[in-house]
Structure 1
Amino acid sequence: NRATLHTGLYPNMHGVRSNGINLREDLPNIAQILMKRGWRTAVMGKTHFQFMSPPYRRKTKSAECWGDWLAEEAGNNPVKGNFPLPYYGFQEVEFATGNGTICVGHYLDWLEKKSPKHAEFVKKKWRRIDNYFSLWCDKGFPEELYSTTYIKERTIAFLERHARGDYGDNPFYLHCSFLDPHYPLCPPGKYYDMYKPEEIELPPNFKDAKNLYSHKFLGPLLKNPPFFRAFLRETNEEETRKFIALTYGSVALIDYSIGEILSTLKKLGYA
């Protein structure tokens, strides 16, 4: 839970018991504390400090609501170009939220500049909630345009700015937060087929699902799966092998991206 990592508090103290609950802005957190002590603070990628889905009957607002980020006219978008800074102590935010190829935030602006065609593809997926409750998306999204690449590039760009002296002699706290691995899985480029489903070994307890039906919390959910039967339902070997293979592909790209970031730290003299 990002709220727990950020504040050092358990959910019963910070109040974020599940998705859809805003983290209280009056709670001290690590970025806020370091910012007040002169550190340059930045977050690249997912924050998950506020709710993402449209507000419906909520009384609170969110800078992370995907509906606002998709507003076509700037006058209808309360966050685009007007993101609240500092945001939970972060002076710089290059934000992305969503999963697979269904993402919004500053990432979508970056994608628009890189490839308007792919940006429109992502927007259409959002408008239809296409694949949002699926286990995976179809392959074909380019690696250089994927959210993991965006977060890696923006993280490296911050490090290079700091090394150049753009922030003076101030130390920095940089939070790099990838969206993957998360359904709907859609590792880009070569990573989609990097692992073969038929070579995936299933866990020994794979066929022991019947015991879960008596579980106090999981049992009722298995009997009545939420979100269009997308979550906590029974599966089969073929589906599970493919899901695991695509998860491995997503993690492999993250591993590569972290390697690039570590190489940059070394090149710039930070490691």
Structure 2
Amino acid sequence: MSKQPNFLFIITDQHRADHLGCYGNPVVKTPNIDSIAKTGTRFDRFYVANPICMPNRASIMTGRMCSAHGARHNGIPLSKDHTTFVELLRDAGYRTGLIGKSHLQSFTGLPATNQFEPKEGKRAPSAHLQDAYKNNRQGEEYELELVPDWDRPISERLTGDFYGFEHVEIAADHADQASGDYLLWAREQRSDFDDLVGPDNALPDNRINAPQAWRTAVPEELYSTSWIADRSEDWLAERAQEDAPFFLQMSFPDPHHPFTPPGKYWDMYDPAEIELPSSFGKGNLPPIKAMQRAMEEGTDPRDNQNPFAVTEDEARAIIALTYGMITMIDDAIGRVLKRLEDLGLADNTVVIFTTDHGDYMGDHGLMLKLLLHYQGTIRVPFIWNDPTTPVPANADQGLASSIDIATTILSRAGIQPFNGIQGRDLFLSDPPEAIIVEEDSQRTMTGFDKPQRVRTVVTDRYRMSLREGENWHELYDLESDPYELANQYDDPNYESVRHSVTEAMLRRIINLQDRSPLPAYRA
């Protein structure tokens, strides 16, 4: 049997597919990520299972939809009862490491947005019977990523592995407010580190005025992006002394908001030279109009995780800062790729690049994510580079999903997947006729009077989104309307299209119904 391959799995946070040079962006500088695509396969129609951090990261880890693994939204940890592909790698003799963002468990420590509410006149069930799941993912083993309690490294608080990772060093949160193991390290480097972070400690700069943007006082060498690259290089150097294959997940918290690229990356891109998205200021869906109105009236604080509307100048500034964050990540990736070469590991290491979800980034005049499944939020980059089978900048046009990552990695490692995995091998199986995207909001946002539950289907030509409890839905012809400006859901001329896309959606949902657990019959 040939030697098992190593894997370097690089994942960013909130990163659109078209915010890379190899995906056609002519402005942002990403030569190192582009180099992965140059002799690898770039998937042009790769979609998330869920456009939110925790749910989609759980889907990547399990190869299963959120409706199967249950981590439907941020705040719901991935259950230890669910098998991950990293556990299978470790079971097969791989050394496994996670450096950077995990977000498989909650890190805010805030009260749950949805809680069991006793009904007047009814006897409430006992606490352990209030949920359909008796193991409701609470307790110390699900509080390992809580930032308020992070007084020592997670490795010292673990019993056994962490979802299959035997080595774990975590950067929680985002931008210059990143925390976790990274923050413990940063405080060791500078005793006054806490006086460098956040908007109150920002360096003066009156050129950029946009929500959640400030010029951080944290120097480049102490920023989380640099720390992740440093620690990844050290971990790889240790693996070079061993014969066992390895899997390293190098996970960057950026380019997620807030927008705080440090040092030279802050003004690397000029907002005045940034082109606005073609859809900016267009779109008449109820939440878009509500967010625009809230911005104009000053009733939306725009300082939290909820999507919000922006002006043209704000959009240009935020995109420019995001490009700076991306280029810093690209430089860090370049360092690690060079280290792979220097250590003699590159010839047998499959390098993978992706992200957990996208961002509006000015599409329809909006920022962040949630609620509306435009291409910018659900279509993400996925690049696969196998040095044993290099290809000349291949572009795969087949529909693909986050749930396919686990199956593809296991297949390349020569490991049989567990029962119930829902993804496909991207290289050995045909694309499905449709991709499903799930979203289950836990809070009410601008333009709505209740949390939203959305199901989206993407076919070769169309994107349709249905939402529970609303009187409007969406249908776009991506072939003639790539910027999703003309909602055809109620157009009589598209009635037959709507019916056929709905059937494709139902067939795919049936296909994704859980096949776990196996029957319990005696042998």
Write 1 or 2 for the structure with the bigger share of helix.
Answer: 1
Amino acid paired to 1:193: D
Please say which structure displays the higher CA radius of gyration. Answer: 2
TM-score w.r.t. the length of structure 2 is 0.45
Partner of 1:212: 285
Give SS of 1:193's match.
coil
Give SS of 2:72's match.
coil
Partner of 1:107: 182
Question: What CA distance in whole angstroms lies between the structure 2 residues aligned with 1:259 and 1:29?
Answer: 28
Asked if the contact 2:84/2:164 (under 8 Å) is kept, the reply is yes
Partner of 2:257: 183
Give the drift of 1:137.
2.4
Amino acid paired to 1:252: T
Alignment of 1:32-47 (within 5 A): 32-47=87-102
| Higher relative contact order, structure no. (Cα contacts within 8 Å, ≥ 6 residues apart) | 2
Query: What is the aligned counterpart of 1:247 among 322, 347, 350?
Result: 322
How big is each residue's C-alpha offset from its partner over 1:43-91, in whole Å with a ceiling of 9 and x where there is no partner?
000011001111535872421111112xxxx5xx795832444000100
In the alignment, structure 1 residue 62 sits paired with structure 2 residue 62: no
Give the drift of 1:107.
0.2
Q: Structure 1 residues 80, 29: closer, same or farther in 2, change over 3 A?
A: closer
How big is each residue's C-alpha offset from its partner over 1:105-132, in whole Å with a ceiling of 9 and x where there is no partner?
110121022112114544998xxxxxxx
How big is each residue's C-alpha offset from its partner over 1:161-187, in whole Å with a ceiling of 9 and x where there is no partner?
11133xxx2111110000000110111
Question: What CA distance in whole angstroms lies between the structure 2 residues aligned with 1:227 and 1:108?
Answer: 31
Q: Structure 1 residues 204, 6: closer, same or farther in 2, change over 3 A?
A: same
Amino acid paired to 1:64: E
Aligned-residue Cα RMSD (Å) equals 2.7
Amino acid paired to 2:147: W
Query: What is the aligned counterpart of 2:163 among 82, 88, 106?
Result: 88
Asked if the contact 1:85/1:92 (under 8 Å) is kept, the reply is no
Write 1 or 2 for the structure with the bigger share of strand.
Answer: 2
Using the aligned pairs only, state the percent identity.
37
Give the drift of 1:232.
2.3
Per mean C-alpha deviation after superposition, the further-off stretch among 239-248 and 49-58 is 49-58
Give the drift of 1:227.
8.4
Give structure 2 stretches of 5+ with no counterpart: 1-55, 116-135, 201-210, 347-523
Partner of 2:213: 136
Partner of 1:128: none
Alignment of 1:247-266 (within 5 A): 247-266=322-341
Query: What is the aligned counterpart of 2:228 among 133, 151, 155?
Result: 151
Question: What CA distance in whole angstroms lies between the structure 2 residues aligned with 1:261 and 1:185?
Answer: 24
In the alignment, structure 1 residue 118 sits paired with structure 2 residue 204: no
Q: Structure 1 residues 124, 63: closer, same or farther in 2, change over 3 A?
A: farther
Question: What CA distance in whole angstroms lies between the structure 2 residues aligned with 1:39 and 1:102?
Answer: 33
Asked if the contact 1:3/1:49 (under 8 Å) is kept, the reply is yes
Question: What CA distance in whole angstroms lies between the structure 2 residues aligned with 1:123 and 1:37?
Answer: 43
How big is each residue's C-alpha offset from its partner over 1:215-249, in whole Å with a ceiling of 9 and x where there is no partner?
6xx67777779984443222101111110000000
Give SS of 1:93's match.
strand
Partner of 1:232: 307
Partner of 1:26: 81
Give SS of 1:42's match.
strand
Amino acid paired to 2:106: F
Partner of 1:12: 67
Q: Structure 1 residues 246, 94: closer, same or farther in 2, change over 3 A?
A: same
Amino acid paired to 1:159: L
Amino acid paired to 1:18: H
Q: Structure 1 residues 28, 220: closer, same or farther in 2, change over 3 A?
A: farther
Question: What CA distance in whole angstroms lies between the structure 1 residues aligned with 2:59 and 2:190?
Answer: 36
